[in-house]
Amino acid sequence: MVVIGGGAAGFAAVEMLRRKGFDGSVTMLSADADAPYDRPNCSKDYLAGDAQPEWMPMRDASWYADHDIDLRLGTDAAALDPVAKSVTLGNGESLDYDALLIATGAEPIRPPIAGFDRPDAYVLRSLRDADAIIAAAGQAKCVAVVGASFIGLETAAALRTRGLEVHVAAPEAIPLARVMGDDIGRWVRGLHGQAGVVFHLGHGVTGWSDGRLALDDGTAIDADFLVLGMGVRPRVALAEAAGLAVDRGIMVDAQLRASAPGIYAAGDVARFPDPHNGQPIRIEHWVHAGRQGQHVARAILGDAAPFTDPPYFWSVHPGAEIRYIGHAEAFDPPHVGGSLAHHDAEVAFASGGRLLALATVGRDRRSLKIGVELTV
């Protein structure tokens, strides 16, 4: 077994293989400099300074040796030959496989805007990225965040906790409205505003230079450094070059099998059939990636069941957490039950009368119940 990727899906797959008694060789190739760690925490408690570095690894270093897992960090897969069933590494070494999992994840988008390639313009995807931002924050008073995405807003909240003045610039009028609706978007903006975050919404960004972030209305934000929270794109270059079916992600079937024998894909890079309607979807959630990795391990060991787990994620904002179960790319006006202001609410996302997803605040039992109901 060869796994390409050291994130949630890759780690969960190798852990499940060993848990289920697989005694063949397992090689895990990770371009990351660090062994698998709690990636969501990079924008949450770790960035805020509330989680210690020793809390971040999924397992200590001895776990991989004890379970006979050949973990190779800082290692890129340069080429894949699905016919010969081999992977060529960046150093020229070749590895044969019987089963291969591509779990290369996604990479942050860095748009071709003037100054966004400067060393003081950071992205946040890895533990090393978080450490670089923490180091910059230690020498700074003010930061500008471009993008009111989940990652952008969580970064803003964490850096406010560290005492920085934080400005958020984004083109949308209401944060998260496209994915969560106006009610949650306005409420989330209010939470951040009460915490001291300054918003510059409804404006595009035209450049970053000499500590100034220029907006399209001619105004500028003075800041010591910049964090880009403008989404991610799946890392599909390896699969595409190998001739696998790729369409905004690696195309897989209900068992997460790619278009060549013996190859699977899971996590942010995989585009799989929605169990409810059969349409291909790609999900960028940590828990979901881990569950897909576990499913691939079971499939390799002979389980023919389709993957049907509903997507799930959580997001941390000043004084509140949102839990979201299900998947809704398009939905009718969301229905709010309870009170967002009192942190006791649920927001239902439906289409044509069918519930697609539910966001909850302070109602974890309800989230768990809907998760069961949404499982096919």
CATH number, domain of 270, equals 3.50.50.60
Q: What is the pLDDT at residue 327?
A: 95
- Strand-pair category, 320-326 with 354-361: antiparallel
In a domain, 361, yes or no: yes
Q: What is the pLDDT at residue 369?
A: 95
Q: Are residues 203 and 163 in the same domain?
A: yes
Q: Are residues 36 and 83 in the same domain?
A: yes
Q: What is the pLDDT at residue 124?
A: 97
In a domain, 221, yes or no: yes
In a domain, 174, yes or no: yes
Domain limit, last residue, from 300, 329, 359:
300
CA distances from 341 to 175, 240, 345 (A): 17, 47, 9
The answer to whether the beta carbons of residues 262 and 98 sit under 8 Å apart is: yes
pLDDT digits (tens, 9 = 90+) for 327-365: 999 999 999 999 999 999 999 999 999 999 999 999 999
The answer to whether the beta carbons of residues 336 and 349 sit under 8 Å apart is: no
Domain limit, last residue, from 252, 270, 300:
300
In a domain, 59, yes or no: yes
In a domain, 21, yes or no: yes
Q: Are residues 168 and 19 in the same domain?
A: no
Q: What is the pLDDT at residue 82?
A: 98
Q: Are residues 21 and 61 in the same domain?
A: yes
Q: Are residues 276 and 213 in the same domain?
A: no
Q: Are residues 119 and 151 in the same domain?
A: yes
Tokens of 361: 């605040």
Tokens of 333: 């006006």
Residues of the chain with pLDDT under 70: none
In a domain, 307, yes or no: no
Give the relative orientation of helices 150-161 and 127-137 as an angle to the nearest 10 degrees.
40
Domain limit, last residue, from 228, 257, 287:
228
Number of domains in the chain: 3
In a domain, 308, yes or no: no
Q: What is the pLDDT at residue 235?
A: 97
Q: Are residues 237 and 221 in the same domain?
A: no
pLDDT digits (tens, 9 = 90+) for 148-162: 999 999 999 999 999
Q: What is the pLDDT at residue 375?
A: 85
Q: What is the pLDDT at residue 277?
A: 87
CA distance 332 to 341: 22
Q: Are residues 153 and 240 in the same domain?
A: no
Please report, for the domain that includes residue 349, its CATH number: 3.30.390.30
The answer to whether the beta carbons of residues 41 and 56 sit under 8 Å apart is: yes
Q: Are residues 53 and 119 in the same domain?
A: no
Q: Are residues 239 and 96 in the same domain?
A: yes
Q: Are residues 115 and 221 in the same domain?
A: yes
pTM above 0.85, yes or no: yes
CB-based burial label for 190 (10 Å; 0-12, 13-18, 19+): middle
Q: Are residues 54 and 103 in the same domain?
A: yes
In a domain, 305, yes or no: no
Note down the domain range covering 11: 2-107+232-300
What are the residue ranges of helices labelled H in 92-126? Answer: none
Q: What is the pLDDT at residue 36?
A: 97
